[in-house]
A and B are shown apart, each in its own frame.
Chain A
Amino acid sequence: MTTDPTAQTIVGATAGPPDHDPAGDDAGASIWRVAARRLRRNPGAIIGAVIVLVFLAVALLAPVLAQYDPQALPGRTEIRPTFIPGPSDAYPLGLDRYGGDLLSKLIWGARASLLIGVLSTLLGLAGGALLGLLAGAFGGWVDTVTMRLVDLMLSVPSLLLAVSIAAVIGQSPNAVVIAIGVVQVPIFARLLRGSMLAQRDQDYVLAATSLGLSRRTVVMSHIVPNSVGPVIVQATLMLATAVIEAAALSFLGLGGGSPITAEWGRMLTAAQNELEVAPRLALWPGACIAITALGFTLFGEALREALDPKTRKR
């Protein structure tokens, strides 16, 4: 099968978005065009996209936007055991317990939290897509073994699984990325497999097979491009979960680093003891996590609706 020259080119093509499919799959392209048009008309999608873009911009431009370095403690001398200075001209959102500038730390925190969220989702997507593809393309015992493994992973609630994985790897941001990524693998695997199975019995697949195309070509250039929709939707929604779970793991201390680390979950841990003195130290990072998650969720839900043929006529 690997000697088939067409199969080689088509395998490469699947790396790009399906609407650029060189196989000329018009139906596939129009789904995405229609979806884009429907997204533009959906206020939820626009709000979600704006939130996500703002936070992405903040994360990317953190070195420019933040007045201080993430580890800097410019107001160290102004901190008293019972008093933490609030907003002032020098520190727009006030200081934290250690004398760090809250605004600067929130900005750097956006970079840390989004990076963890995006990397872990990419990891989960890659692992899940690989397993799902194996199961969906080969069926038989490959499918059975893969899906039993997936069931096993899903038999433990995801946050607990992530906690135990991160605990074993050791307390560091990398551990958090790996833990949250691994936890997502079974979800993506099951989704892609289910989606591929639904396509397998479609007439166009029968047509492609009867034209004598190899199984690899049928799977890679026909079944897969038509199965990725739900996976992309899930990935968008997963970004919200990943940001929240990353914060949860950091909150439990699995993200490592010192208490002054500029990461939203970690900042919440530090704020825990200051609730009576300076509640804003908890409010700001918490609100950042919630708003980022809201952005991804709104956009993901809108994307799901836009790609769903059942709601297409509305």
Chain B
Amino acid sequence: MIWPLDIILLCFLVLLSLITAFSRDLLAATVAFSIYSLVLAIVFAQLNAPDVALTEAAVGAGITGLLFVVAITRTTRWEED
């Protein structure tokens, strides 16, 4: 465990989750969510869990983000209140 790298990654995670939660642009929120999954995969690899890191990188960053993008293309891009 390299603790400065961990702190940077965790701050990045908090920032990306805030962007995902508060963004009006759903496409931007999806992109932020994909980057969030990728950073989370690095954190899992840091925590000696390569199985979970592989799953998170393949499913979370790749396929889930892509399915969200397809769903946005079929519906609307901007969030309405």
A binds B: no
* Chain B residues within 8 Å of A, Cβ to Cβ: none
Chain A residues at the B interface, C-beta cutoff of 8 Å: none
